Amino acid sequence: MSEVILPPAMIGIIGGGQLGRMMAIAARQMGYRIGVLEPGPNGPLAQIADLEINAAYDDEHALRQLLDASAVTTYEFENISAETVADLAAHGNLPQGPRPVAITQHRLLEKNAINEAGFETAPYANVPTADSLDSAVAQIGYPAILKTVTGGYDGKGQRVLSAAEDLLQARELVSDSPCILEGFVPFDKEISVIVTRSVTGEIQTFEPVENVHKNGILHLSMVPAVISAEVVAKAEAVARGLMEKLDFIGTLAIEMFVVGDDIVINELAPRPHNSGHLTIDAHNVSQFEQHIRAISGLPLVAPQRIAPSVMVNLLGQHVDYALEQWQKPEYGWGKLHLYGKAENKRDRKVGHLTFVNSDADLLSDTITNFLADFPD
């Protein structure tokens, strides 16, 4: 059995954005100390860390410094090279290893891995160069979505292809960067399952979260998802099965499309995820605490929802409006989370607001009213 890491040991986090910050808040509450490696000073996580190392994500010397100072080290994002993670895992305690990063930072490898594990994705074709676009379209048909194999997030690096007239723009995208072409899934709902697998092999899933996107960026997340008990059970079984088959450790998000009674996997994030932020206020354990428990060898908590909940994402352009509304009693019970970013940039995630209430009608009315004048 692996050694349990107890507070006040130091937990190292590679990447200093909001996900790292919320991991750190959960860890500090339990008494752990936090080290962070992040290129720029005083980011969202560094503001609450004990040890801040400012260096590039591929600075081997600085990464080892973090690892040496920490009893266990994790990462808050998938944009670190898998080779770097492999080197670090060989050198110190980084129990997640390179596999989650290697697979999820490459859409083609990710789709292959999911299918090989026996789970369904959208139909897809490899489009390594502009020359291969026509044969991919012949195979997949319209409508389809062309996505860059690496580097895309929040709907960036994607083009929807509805007809032949969209091919010109699509060719530009694939000329810049290798792509895959995905068949468009006519989904009824988008859900995600936050799942955690510990270094001991224990797995726990949160109930599925229902997600609404706007302009390719997550807008709302809700529990309970309005889906049948059968789909809930399927989604949780898919999440567990994937974690076992892919041998992943830590908290991951699995984004899924619900099509009738079927589950189609969209993508994986090898870390806590925006759609799981409501677990901080709506459940007896958060996705972040669960992640810290998983990498520290502590038993996981069986998640229970306290009450129905809706999370509203706050992008840069939403902050002034949200702060104005939140001062009013009808919205003041919303749990405000601002990430301490230096600027409120347009279309960048700078915070969220989570409403939790056992009165589902009050919850729904509050969200409707709150969003009535929400800026675009």
Residues that bind ligand AMP (CB under 6 A): 122, 145, 152, 155, 182, 184-185, 190, 213, 216, 255, 266-267
Give whichever of 145 and 263 is closer to ligand AMP, judged by the CB atom.
145
CA 181, CA 194: separation in Å to the nearest integer?
26
Give whichever of 104 and 296 is closer to ligand AMP, judged by the CB atom.
104
Query: How many other C-beta atoms are found inside a 10 Å radius of the C-beta of residue 376?
Result: 7
Convert 170-199 to b/e letters by CB count within 10 Å (16 or more is b): bbebbeeebbbbbbbbebebbbbbbbbbbb
**Shortest CB 252 distance to ligand AMP, Å:** 14
**Shortest CB 159 distance to ligand AMP, Å:** 11
Give whichever of 57 and 184 is closer to ligand AMP, judged by the CB atom.
184
**Shortest CB 161 distance to ligand AMP, Å:** 11
**Pairing state between β 51-53 and 33-37:** parallel
Give whichever of 147 and 234 is closer to ligand AMP, judged by the CB atom.
147
Q: Give residue 120's Cα distance to chain centre.
A: 20
The pair of structure tokens assigned to 89 is 């895992």
**Shortest CB 78 distance to ligand AMP, Å:** 12
**Shortest CB 343 distance to ligand AMP, Å:** 24
**Shortest CB 107 distance to ligand AMP, Å:** 8
CA 128, CA 146: separation in Å to the nearest integer?
11
DSSP string, 292-305: HHHHHTPPPP---B
Give whichever of 38 and 190 is closer to ligand AMP, judged by the CB atom.
190
Give whichever of 42 and 158 is closer to ligand AMP, judged by the CB atom.
158
CA 170, CA 186: separation in Å to the nearest integer?
21
**Shortest CB 185 distance to ligand AMP, Å:** 4
The pair of structure tokens assigned to 168 is 């010109």
Task: Give the DSSP H or E segment for 242.
Answer: helix 229-246
Give whichever of 184 and 374 is closer to ligand AMP, judged by the CB atom.
184
**Pairing state between β 189-197 and 203-205:** antiparallel
